[in-house]
Structure formats: structure tokens, C-alpha cells
């Protein structure tokens, strides 16, 4: 009961803030929903239906590719049975005790190499049709997470959730992203538009090359901001697109500058006495650097935090030189 009251109070404050900021939704500017949906079909789904899109995605493929590495390949990549808790539908939904060995030839689940399939995100047959198992940021953020605050000295993996929440680490303070802290009902899939026509989970305009490099077409990206619930605030779409572009260019360039240093000092420190002070300095630089590198959005999720982390990484790499 009190939880609900708090929520309402927060919502009221928020509405007030938005109104004062002149950023409240404005009904008269909304484009008809059906026009927007058909624009998506043409520009960002390449004419594929949602089942085809989902089946072509890395979500659907990844687990099969992982198992194809075989027992030795998987061991070399440091997989443990816990790792597949975010990768295998069987482990997530049917059998929490499922182990990696069950999925190799001869194992009891050798025929069930189901990755992140429909039922991982959805409950398929309900009275309201197809519904989501989770809500809000958790729909995507429960897997795309470093599973807590990054730890100084350790490398960071898929920290999209932490980046958006704005968790600082070491000498970098918390810097929450605008969307996570000012827009109570915003989610990952508002930008990574996922709906009845789009299910490739990518931000419109993003494609992935054969070797896994993502490319952004800013012209197509602008479609995302033309959705009825965005255009009310983002009235001059080009301005937001230009702003994202400029920020991404800066972060991409910094990452390219620091990556050779990260690789060089990774090799050097691996051969050093663990008590050498440079081993510790490198560990810290690696945390700051991999936090931004592994988030993979090149600053789109939280530019201010990404910039601050890379500035610290640069400082630490300079100490090493």
C-alpha cells in the first residue's frame, strides 16, 4: 500500500518536473501509430517478420555456437555450468541443474540447444495473448549486466545495465543516465525498438558485419525518435541524432586510441611479478577501459560516465608509460 503511495508521489513530482522543463508529452504533435509502424517495416526490418528476425539474431544463435566449440573449446574459454544461466533456455526455464556436459553429443539435452528463444522473454499463452515475464529495465537488463557494481582491478563483462544506471567505480563517481533517472517508464527496448513488427533487438540503423563489428546508419537511426512517444520531446530529430553521433565519434576514437595500450600492457604485466606496482595500475586501467568497451554502445547509453571512465583509463595508462 505505502509502496504504491510512494510510487504515485514520485510520479507526481516527475510530471511536475517535466512540465516545468517544458518537456511534457504534447498530444497534438503525435504522429499516427500505423504510419510509424509501416515506416519501421520498410526501413528497419528488411521485410522480415518477427519470427524470422528473432531466429536470425545473436540471441537465437549464440548458445548453439557455444556448444559447437566442444568440451575442450568451452573449457579453454573458461565456461562453467553457471555461465549458461543466461545463455540456455533449458537451464533458465526447465532444469536449473542442467550442466554444460548435458548439451554435448551423448548428453541428455543434446537435442535441446535452445538459446534465447521466445519463451525466455515471454509467457506465450495467456488470456491477454503474449506477455513479458519481466518488466521495464529488467526485461533485458537482467542478462545484460555485470551482476553488480564493477570491481576495481577486474575486467568488466556486458555492463549495459550498470552503465545506464550510472554506477561509478574506483575514482569515478556515480553518474546516472538521463533516461534511467528522469523517465520512470523508459526501457532498453524503447531505443532497441522491440514490438509487434521489430524483433532483431538492435537499435534501428545498426547492422552487424560477419566478423561481429557493428555499424550505425544515422539516417535509419532517426526513425527511432519519430515514434509517437519520442517525438513529443525530441521535436527536432536531427539535433538528437547529431548529438548522439558526435558523442559516439568521440568515444569510438578514445577506445581506438587506448586499445593498443590495453593490449600491450596486458601482455607485459602478465609476465611481471604480481607485486610490481604496475600490475595493480594496469588492473585499474583495465577496469575503466573494459567497462566502456564491453558496454559496446560507444557512449550512447551514458556519455558522461563513458567519458569519465576513459579519462581515468588514459591517466592510468600514462602512469605506466
Of 5 and 129, CB closest to ligand HEC: 129
In angstroms, the CA 182 to CA 6 distance is 16
- Residue 271 CB, nearest distance to ligand HEC (Å)? 24
| Sign of the Cα pseudo-torsion (65, 68, 74, 80, in order) | positive
- CA triple 121-301-64, angle to 5 deg: 40
As measured in angstroms, the least distance from the Cβ of 42 to ligand HEC is 19
Query: How far is Cα 300 from Cα 203, in angstroms, rounded to an integer?
Result: 11
Query: Number of residues in contact with ligand HEC, rule: CB under 6 A?
Result: 73
Q: How far is the CB of 246 from ligand HEC (least distance, A)?
A: 8
Half-sphere exposure of 240 (CA within 13 A, CB side): 16
Stretch that binds ligand HEC, among 120-128, 256-264, 269-277, 312-320 (CB under 6 A): 120-128
The three cell numbers locating residue 297 = 554502445
**CA–CA dist 169, 147 (Å, integer):** 14
286 binds ligand HEC (CB under 6 A): no
Contacting ligand HEC within 13-72 (CB under 6 A): 18, 23, 50-51, 54, 58-59, 62
**Which of 248, 287 has the CB closer to ligand HEC?**
248
CB of 35 to ligand HEC, least distance (A): 16
CB of 142 to ligand HEC, least distance (A): 6
Q: What span, in angstroms and rounded, lies between the C-alpha atoms of 9 and 2?
A: 10
Applying the rule CB under 6 A, the residues between 233 and 252 that interact with ligand HEC are: 233-234, 240, 243-244, 247-248
Binding mask 124-163 for ligand HEC (x = CB under 6 A): -----xx-x----x-xxx-xxx-x----------x-xx--
Q: Are 266 and 314 in contact (CB under 8 A)?
A: no
Q: Per CB under 6 A, does 298 bind ligand HEC? A: yes
Length reported for the chain: 321
> Which of 39, 120 has the CB closer to ligand HEC?
120
- Long-range contact set of residues 56-60: C-beta below 8 Å, sequence gap at least 24: 56/200, 57/199, 57/200, 57/201, 58/208, 59/115, 59/116, 59/201, 60/115, 60/116, 60/117
Integer Cα distance of 14 and 184 in angstroms: 8
- Binding residue for ligand HEC (CB under 6 A) from 43, 79, 112, 283? 79
The nearer residue to ligand HEC, 231 or 281, going by C-beta atoms, is 231
Q: CA 19, CA 15: separation in Å to the nearest integer?
A: 6
Q: How far is the CB of 291 from ligand HEC (least distance, A)?
A: 12
| 113-130 residues labelled b (16+ CB within 10 A) or e (exposed) | bbbbbbebbeeeeeeeee
CB of 287 to ligand HEC, least distance (A): 16
Angle between helices 277-295 and 237-270 (to 10 degrees): 150
Q: Which of residues 172-231 bind ligand HEC (CB under 6 A)?
A: 178-179, 188-192, 194-196, 199, 201-203, 206, 208, 214, 216, 224-225, 227, 229-230
Residue 78 interacts with ligand HEC (CB under 6 A): yes or no: yes
**One character per residue 86-115, x = contact with ligand HEC (rule: CB under 6 A):** xx----------------------------
Amino acid at each position: 500500500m505505502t509502496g504504491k503511495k510512494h510510487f504515485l508521489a514520485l510520479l507526481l513530482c516527475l510530471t511536475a518536473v517535466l512540465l516545468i522543463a517544458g518537456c511534457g508529452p504534447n498530444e497534438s504533435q503525435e504522429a499516427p501509430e500505423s504510419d510509424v509502424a509501416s515506416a519501421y517495416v520498410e526501413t528497419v526490418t528488411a521485410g522480415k517478420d518477427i519470427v524470422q528476425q528473432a531466429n536470425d539474431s545473436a540471441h537465437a544463435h549464440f548458445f548453439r555456437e557455444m556448444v559447437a566449440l566442444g568440451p575442450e573449446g568451452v573449457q579453454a574459454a573458461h565456461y562453467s555450468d553457471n555461465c549458461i544461466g543466461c545463455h540456455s533456455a533449458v537451464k533458465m526455464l526447465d532444469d536449473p541443474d542442467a550442466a554444460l556436459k548435458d548439451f554435448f553429443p551423448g548428453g541428455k539435452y543434446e537435442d535441446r540447444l535452445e538459446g534465447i528463444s521466445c519463451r525466455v522473454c515471454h509467457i506465450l499463452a495467456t488470456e491477454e495473448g503474449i506477455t513479458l515475464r519481466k518488466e521495464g529495465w529488467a526485461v533485458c537488463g537482467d542478462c545484460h549486466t555485470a551482476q553488480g557494481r564493477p570491481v576495481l582491478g577486474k575486467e568488466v563483462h556486458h555492463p549495459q545495465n550498470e552503465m545506464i544506471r550510472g554506477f561509478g567505480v574506483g575514482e569515478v563517481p556515480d553518474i546516472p543516465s538521463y533516461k534511467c533517472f528522469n523517465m520512470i517508464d523508459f526501457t532498453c527496448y524503447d531505443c532497441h525498438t522491440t514490438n509487434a513488427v521489430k524483433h532483431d533487438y538492435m537499435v534501428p540503423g545498426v547492422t552487424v558485419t560477419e566478423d561481429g563489428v557493428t555499424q550505425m546508419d544515422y539516417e535509419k537511426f532517426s526513425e527511432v525518435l519519430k515514434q509517437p512517444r519520442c517525438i513529443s520531446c525530441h521535436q527536432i530529430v536531427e539535433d538528437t541524432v547529431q548529438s548522439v553521433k558526435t558523442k559516439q565519434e568521440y568515444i569510438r576514437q578514445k577506445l581506438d586510441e587506448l586499445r593498443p595500450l590495453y593490449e600491450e600492457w596486458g601482455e607485459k604485466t602478465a609476465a611481471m611479478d604480481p607485486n610490481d606496482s604496475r600490475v595493480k595500475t594496469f588492473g585499474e586501467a583495465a577496469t575503466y577501459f573494459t567497462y566502456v568497451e564491453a558496454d559496446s554502445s560507444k557512449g550512447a547509453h551514458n556519455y558522461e560516465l563513458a567519458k569519465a571512465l576513459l579519462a581515468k583509463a588514459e591517466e592510468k595508462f600514462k602512469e605506466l608509460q
